[in-house]
Amino acid sequence: MEELIRDLKEQIIDALNLEEITPEDIEDNAPLFGDGLGLDSIDALELIVILDKYYGIKLANPAQGKEIFKSVAAIAEYVAKNRTK
């Protein structure tokens, strides 16, 4: 799980162009939206692309993202259960 969390953080930083952020800056359980990293609606859609590209998870309904994208730990949990690659 630790490795998955580390990978996810790097993938998120890369896909969302979070230039000034390092994986260490992102806490596993900190909220990604709102106060946390301050991500917005396009970032949420980019997270859907990450799930598809690296883990073979297709999220048809962006509304599902609300729960899944709460924190990096929450994403990791979802990915571990649902990944196809």
Partner 1 sequence: MISVLSTNILSPLGASTEQNYRAVKEGRSLLEVHQDERGVPGSFVASLFSDEQIDALNVEGFTRFESLVIRSVQDALSKTDIDPASDRLIFILSTTKADIEELAAVESEDKNYSSPGRAAGKVAEYFGFVNTPVVVCNACISGVSAQMTALRLMNQGLYDHAVVCGADCQSSFVISGFSSFKALSPEPCRPFDIDRMGLNIGEAAATIVFSAKTSEGAWRLIQGSLTNDAYHVSAPSPSGEGSILAIKDALCGVDVNSLSCVSVHGTATMFNDQMESMAIQATGLSEVPLSTLKGYYGHTMGAAGVLECILTMCAVDEGLLPACRGFEEIGVSGKVDIVGESRPVSGESFLKMISGFGGCNGALIYSKGEISEKPAYKGGSATVSHHIFMDSKSVVLDGESLEVKGTGKEMLSQIYKSYIGDYPKFHKMDALGKVVCMASELLLRKENAAPDASRAVILFNNSSSIVADRAHIACICDMENYYPSPSTFLYTLPNIAAGEIAIRHGYKAETSLYILDRKDQKLMDAIVESSMRESSAGSVITGWVDCKAEDEFEVELSILNK
Beta carbon of residue 13, minimum distance to partner 1 (angstroms, whole number):
10
* Alpha carbon separation from 73 to 3, 29 (Å, rounded): 11, 6
Nearer of residues 2 and 35 to partner 1, judged by Cβ: 35
Whole-angstrom distance, CA of residue 42 vs CA of residue 82: 23
Beta carbon of residue 45, minimum distance to partner 1 (angstroms, whole number):
4
Asked if 26 and 66 count as a contact pair (C-beta separation under 8 A), the reply is no
Site for partner 1 in 54-73 (CB under 8 A): 60-62
**Does 7 participate in binding partner 1 (rule CB under 8 A)?**
no
